[in-house]
Amino acid sequence: MQYFTPVDPPLQRSGQHRNVQPFSDEDASIETMSHCSGFSDPASFAEDGPEVLDEEGTQEDLEYKLKGLIDLTFDKSAKTRQAALEGIKNAMASKILYEFILERRITLTDSIERCLKKGKSDEQRAAAGLACILCVQLGPGIESEEVLKTLGPILKKIICDGTASIQARQACATCFGVCCFIATDDITELYSTMECLENIFTKSYHKEKDTNGICSTPNTVLHISSLLVWTLLLTICPINEVKKKIEMHLHKLPSLLSCDDVNMRIAAGETLALLFELARETDNDFYYEDMESLTQKLRALATDGNKHRAKVDKRKQRSVFRDVLRAVEERDFPTETVKFGPERMYIDCWVKKQTYDTFKEILGTGMQYHLQSNEFLRNVFELGPPVMLDAATLKTMKISRFERHLYNSAAFKARTKARSKCRDKRADVGEFF
């Protein structure tokens, strides 16, 4: 059976984006697409990161391959469907494809819905990942609202389904929260989404009768993802709701600091720092009764030398909790600088860090490209309209894979040579004595 990628009927657009010429679907059958090199390899779209579109044909080739991938999301083979979902996701992560996606958003949404309903763990995870980036590309407005309206109930069902795979539930929790962050302007829907996520991560809270630390379970990764995306949604809540959530969770979250999973400890620590930041912004007279006990825990984690923990985990944990401790004790945040193209963005608060980290996790290496070109993300981070650069400037900014390889090889040789000289000097000193 053949599937053809239809162009969805026109719908009133909510804004943005770069103008891309529509591309007809007359040749977009599975058989035709099988002759297009690269579409069957999902990694091919993200291997080099975002590429500069030097010629119109390059854009047309990409769209041609994408239509083949959309067709393949209806294939009988689960592996083929999953590979197609990943391929589309990688392409969307590394290009702004607003016009192309806008014309096919209903088909894409139907495909994601079908894969979430009928697929198994890996396919559901890929479908949820694609849904996230679909909303990132569309931005806020009626189109992304329709995506959330269609997929939201299915995502929620999978999240709450104890028989579904943890990986699928984890991906769906992140997707549900991120799509809500982008699409919803209904406060009731926002609160409902947060409640769904709360029902998941609060299962990790310390029970009053327990005296030992919290032991991680297979569900811990789900609880971590739910906590992080819940924190993201908290940043867009009205002040009264923020105060209510702080009062509800601030005295319970410290119990997660004793979890034996390093990622849960870090997620809890960063959430605490963000809650303190919001609490102090909404109430100048904010006072936390157990401050001494909390700072002792944070200081212990910031200087943790437990021999039973992996060195990498300890190093990562100490770095994070030094910043968390400064936030709680001194109301300080170590400003980070993110460079993308000729621009810079300063991450100077925990709210901004949480938002950046969430979308960086979704977009991967495409984050810098989207910061340059995606109007939704530029609005979120208050970067203003995209900076227009001509093709010549873009070319000078881009480094090819071969040039990167040469640069890295030269740097490696230089480091090796320097180390050899240093060793030779030490050897000479040893002989002298």
The reported pLDDT for the residue numbered 311 is: 77
Greater model confidence, 37 or 116 = 116
Query: Does the structure show a pLDDT above 50 at 209?
Result: no
What digits encode the pLDDT tens for the residues 299-324?
999 998 676 677 787 888 999 999 99
Determine which of 181-185, 224-228, 305-309, 358-362 has the lowest per-residue pLDDT on average: 305-309
Structure-token pair, residue 66: 């994408």
> How far lies 366's CA from each of 33, 44, 82, 93, 177, in Å?
25, 14, 20, 5, 20
Termini Cα distance of the chain = 82
Distance from C-alpha of 180 to C-alpha of 172, rounded to nearest angstrom: 12
Residue 416: band (very low, low, confident or very high) from pLDDT cuts 50, 70, 90: low
Q: CB 212: neighbour CB atoms within 10 A?
A: 8
The reported pLDDT for the residue numbered 284 is: 86
Structure-token pair, residue 10: 């026109």
Query: Does the structure show a pLDDT above 50 at 94?
Result: yes
The reported pLDDT for the residue numbered 428 is: 53
Residue 54: band (very low, low, confident or very high) from pLDDT cuts 50, 70, 90: very low
> How far lies 426's CA from each of 310, 432, 433, in Å?
31, 10, 11
Structure-token pair, residue 264: 């849960």
Greater model confidence, 395 or 240 = 240
Structure-token pair, residue 421: 């000289």
Question: Which of 298, 207, 216 has the alpha carbon at shortest distance from 252?
Answer: 207
Helix (H/G/I), strand (E/B), else coil: 268 = helix
Question: String of b and e for 225-242 (b: at least 16 CB within 10 Å)?
Answer: bbbbbbbbbbbbbeeeeb
Distance from C-alpha of 392 to C-alpha of 409, rounded to nearest angstrom: 27
Q: CB 121: neighbour CB atoms within 10 A?
A: 15
Q: How many helices (H) and strands (E) does the chain have?
A: 18, 2
3-state secondary structure 343-374: EEEEECCHHHHHHHHHHHHHHHHHHHHHHHHC
Query: Does the structure show a pLDDT above 50 at 268?
Result: yes
The reported pLDDT for the residue numbered 37 is: 38
Distance from C-alpha of 427 to C-alpha of 284, rounded to nearest angstrom: 62
Determine which of 29-38, 109-118, 153-162, 401-410 has the lowest per-residue pLDDT on average: 29-38
Determine which of 88-92, 137-141, 424-428 has the lowest per-residue pLDDT on average: 424-428
- Alpha-carbon dihedral angle through residues 212, 215, 219, 224, given to the nearest 10 degrees: 80
| Residue corresponding to tokens 């600088």 | 337
What digits encode the pLDDT tens for the residues 136-185?
999 999 999 999 999 999 999 999 999 999 999 999 999 999 999 999 99
The reported pLDDT for the residue numbered 39 is: 46
The reported pLDDT for the residue numbered 8 is: 60
Query: Does the structure show a pLDDT above 60 at 114?
Result: yes
Share of the chain above pLDDT 70, in %: 74
What's the mean pLDDT when you consider all of the chain? 82
The reported pLDDT for the residue numbered 105 is: 94
Query: Does the structure show a pLDDT above 60 at 47?
Result: no
DSSP conformation class of 25? -
> For the chain, what are the domain ranges?
60-204
Residue 15: band (very low, low, confident or very high) from pLDDT cuts 50, 70, 90: very low
Residue 217: band (very low, low, confident or very high) from pLDDT cuts 50, 70, 90: confident
Distance from C-alpha of 279 to C-alpha of 265, rounded to nearest angstrom: 21
CATH class of 60-204: mainly alpha
Beta carbons of 121 and 165 less than 8 angstroms apart: yes
